[in-house]
A = this chain, B = another copy of it.
């Protein structure tokens, strides 16, 4: 199990290799990338800012909780901070498990918990030159979701 808040590029394939083992039947790699459109506005780039010391702790706790709940130690998670260009990876989650159902559930659980409680903020930069800290709950409400 390994988790990290990183300020360099994430190599998702390396995370996958890190969790794979001969004992594992199923591996799931989740990769989040910077989208070119968010809630209808063209995005040109963005910046992630973390409360680093707490984010490291929360991310480790999220992985440890998933490990205990789903029964695998083979979990590696990296979340990037700093400026990212379109298409770059902001988060990667690799999970291996003997059984695919548990692998999917552990992967999903980690990304949902991460989005709920990891102290990380995102400032999007739009084509019109403006930039704005994203509030996912408000964005969902405005989109009527």
Contacts and interface: CB of A to CB of B under 8 A. Distances in A.
* Contact-size category for A: 20 to 34
Interface in A67-89: 86-87
Contacts of A107: 28, 104
A36 B23 contact: yes
A37 interface: yes
Given A27-B31, A30-B100, A100-B30, A36 B13 contact: no
A16 B12 contact: yes
A37 B27 CA distance: 16
Contacts of A37: 23
A24 B33 contact: yes
Given A36-B22, A108-B104, A27 B27 contact: no
Contacts of A136: none
Contact of A33 (B27, B35, B111): B27
B20 A26 contact: no
Contacts of A16: 12-13, 29, 31
12 contacts: A12-B29, A16-B29, A20-B31, A21-B87, A22-B35, A23-B35, A23-B37, A27-B31, A27-B32, A28-B107, A29-B31, A104-B107
Q: Nearest 9 A-B pairs (CB), nearest first? A: A13-B13, A29-B29, A22-B36, A27-B31, A25-B35, A22-B87, A22-B86, A104-B108, A28-B30
